[in-house]
Copies of this chain bind each other. A is one copy, B any other.
């Protein structure tokens, strides 16, 4: 696909679309409007809506969800999607359909298939189960009582397997079907290899880090950091890295997240904690997601192809901003003065070098969302291996807590003392999200590969040191963000770096950075 696919300079009929496409657009416009309303309702629920609103608002959400599904699956829409697919197949030279239109039809067909292949009554029963399960999980987690959640989890796993069976094509394995939902082209074959390398390289490397005599103090990161000043720093940093506040909003929620109504209305949240680097990096992380959404081309936003390419590609951008940029020495050269200005007392006697070391301190822990950059993917590894056992080997859910603890001990050297900080920590399984976790690690690896490539084509550290982060951001926009779902994550990576995905860069990046920090000879 040429670089000009988004230019909008189309010849002849191209751009306005065929008759079938234009008619389909009416249905898709509706579906997108309902989806946008659902996104806003969810944002509002997490950030503002009053406590008692729940039940009544859920009814509205249910009706809008049904309207969304109906807009895409009603016979006329389904017929039009089929006609457009036929036209595209015959449109070899690309006269009738633009790349964007092809992507929209492809996504619509995929969505239609996902929505149509599950018998409605089963789907409804499953939805009820899932809306219940988050509550059951939250209670079980609070009480550290996996037994109370296990029967529900078992039912969810069974439904997920059944649904994956409906969705499987050409004898696909069930866990491959699930993985494919989040990351096209990354099935068990690719992920076994990926996680195999991580395990072989990072587990022994982490052991060396832990045995290193280097001690990094970071006690000054926790303490009397007022929420007001943390908020000021958060807004400053978000804007600095490129989150455009004329097109975006920063709010507070229990768990940080990013959402977008379209490319001119992108919303991120954070939460403020005693440990100041927690919100600081969560804001840069979410700003990375936000910058991706803001960078999606105008011709794609508000269409089914107008979101990030995949979960993993999204995570690659957020983690790129958070870690590769945000936890680098160079990034803080023009910025550390601002931090000291806001917190002169709290950071008294703490120089930039000491600060940057502290925000990179490695400490294997039990909680994924609090993990440092080095150990993060090992948390994901545990989950990948367990999901694979659950789905492909019919592992009894009762065995999860024990296996979880064993794997944490083996890979991270720590063992949970209770289920709250063990198998119950993530909401994902309670929501039926199996196959989602690997994207977190893949994203980090995508980012590292981009990083080594960008160091060849631009002065990466120089840009950061001189406060010209926009050189990096614009490069990402040009090669990743603007394409939305026009390309898969594999294609984006290949087109940008000239190479297929290769996990070696991620390992190299981590071993070089943390080898330096902990003075480990390679």
Question: Interface residues, chain A, CB within 8 Å of chain B?
Answer: 29-30, 32-34, 36-37, 40-41, 44, 48-57, 59-60, 63-64, 67, 244-249, 251, 261-266, 301-302
Q: Evaluate contact between B56 and A37: CB separation under 8 angstroms.
A: no
Q: Evaluate contact between A264 and B40: CB separation under 8 angstroms.
A: no
Given known A-B contacts A50-B245, A50-B246, A50-B248, A30 and B265 have beta carbons under 8 A apart = no
CB-CB under 8 A from A50, the residues of chain B are 245-249, 264-266
Number of copies: 2
Given known A-B contacts A37-B40, A40-B37, A41-B40, A265 and B53 have beta carbons under 8 A apart = yes
* Contacting residue for A263 out of B36, B56, B263, CB 8 A: B56
Q: Evaluate contact between B247 and A30: CB separation under 8 angstroms.
A: no
Cα distance, A301 to B54, chains bound together (Å)? 14
How far is the CB of A486 from the nearest CB of chain B, in Å?
A: 19
How far is the CB of A401 from the nearest CB of chain B, in Å?
A: 36
CB-CB under 8 A from A264, the residues of chain B are 50, 52-57
CB-CB under 8 A from A246, the residues of chain B are 50-52
Q: Can you show 14 pairs from A to B with CB atoms below 8 A apart?
A: A32-B60, A33-B60, A37-B37, A37-B60, A40-B40, A51-B247, A53-B247, A53-B264, A56-B264, A56-B301, A56-B302, A57-B264, A60-B262, A60-B302
Given known A-B contacts A57-B261, A262-B57, A263-B56, A64 and B33 have beta carbons under 8 A apart = yes
How far is the CB of A336 from the nearest CB of chain B, in Å?
A: 29
How far is the CB of A439 from the nearest CB of chain B, in Å?
A: 27
Smallest CB-CB A-B distances: 5 pairs: A37-B37, A33-B63, A53-B265, A56-B262, A52-B264
Q: Evaluate contact between B52 and A247: CB separation under 8 angstroms.
A: yes
Q: Evaluate contact between A265 and B40: CB separation under 8 angstroms.
A: no
Cα distance, A67 to B34, chains bound together (Å)? 10
Most chain B beta carbons < 10 A, residue from A60, A262, A301: A60
CB-CB under 8 A from A247, the residues of chain B are 50-53
CB-CB under 8 A from A52, the residues of chain B are 244, 246-247, 264-265
CB-CB under 8 A from A41, the residues of chain B are 37, 40
Cα distance, A262 to B50, chains bound together (Å)? 11
Q: Evaluate contact between A302 and B40: CB separation under 8 angstroms.
A: no
Given known A-B contacts A40-B41, A63-B29, A56 and B249 have beta carbons under 8 A apart = no
Cα distance, A64 to B32, chains bound together (Å)? 10
How far is the CB of A76 from the nearest CB of chain B, in Å?
A: 14
Q: Evaluate contact between B67 and A33: CB separation under 8 angstroms.
A: yes
CB-CB under 8 A from A59, the residues of chain B are 29, 33, 302
Most chain B beta carbons < 10 A, residue from A33, A248, A249, A263: A33
Cα distance, A51 to B265, chains bound together (Å)? 9
CB-CB under 8 A from A57, the residues of chain B are 261-262, 264-265
CB-CB under 8 A from A266, the residues of chain B are 50
How far is the CB of A258 from the nearest CB of chain B, in Å?
A: 14
Cα distance, A63 to B37, chains bound together (Å)? 11
Cα distance, A262 to B41, chains bound together (Å)? 13
* Contacting residue for A67 out of B51, B60, B67, CB 8 A: B67
Most chain B beta carbons < 10 A, residue from A53, A246, A247, A301: A53
How far is the CB of A451 from the nearest CB of chain B, in Å?
A: 30
CB-CB under 8 A from A245, the residues of chain B are 50
Q: Evaluate contact between B37 and A265: CB separation under 8 angstroms.
A: no
Given known A-B contacts A50-B247, A50-B249, A265 and B56 have beta carbons under 8 A apart = yes
Cα distance, A315 to B161, chains bound together (Å)? 56
CB-CB under 8 A from A60, the residues of chain B are 32-33, 36-37, 261-262, 302
11 new A-B contacts at CB < 8 Å, known A36-B60, A56-B262, A56-B302: A30-B67, A33-B63, A37-B40, A37-B60, A40-B41, A44-B44, A49-B249, A50-B245, A51-B247, A52-B246, A52-B265
How far is the CB of A269 from the nearest CB of chain B, in Å?
A: 12
Nearest neighbor of A64 in chain B, beta-carbon distance: B33
CB-CB under 8 A from A34, the residues of chain B are 37, 64, 67
Nearest neighbor of A26 in chain B, beta-carbon distance: B63
* Contacting residue for A261 out of B33, B51, B53, B263, CB 8 A: B53
How far is the CB of A92 from the nearest CB of chain B, in Å?
A: 33
Cα distance, A29 to B64, chains bound together (Å)? 10
How far is the CB of A482 from the nearest CB of chain B, in Å?
A: 16
Cα distance, A56 to B29, chains bound together (Å)? 12
How far is the CB of A1 from the nearest CB of chain B, in Å?
A: 25
Cα distance, A264 to B52, chains bound together (Å)? 6
How far is the CB of A511 from the nearest CB of chain B, in Å?
A: 41
How far is the CB of A301 from the nearest CB of chain B, in Å?
A: 7
Cα distance, A302 to B302, chains bound together (Å)? 28
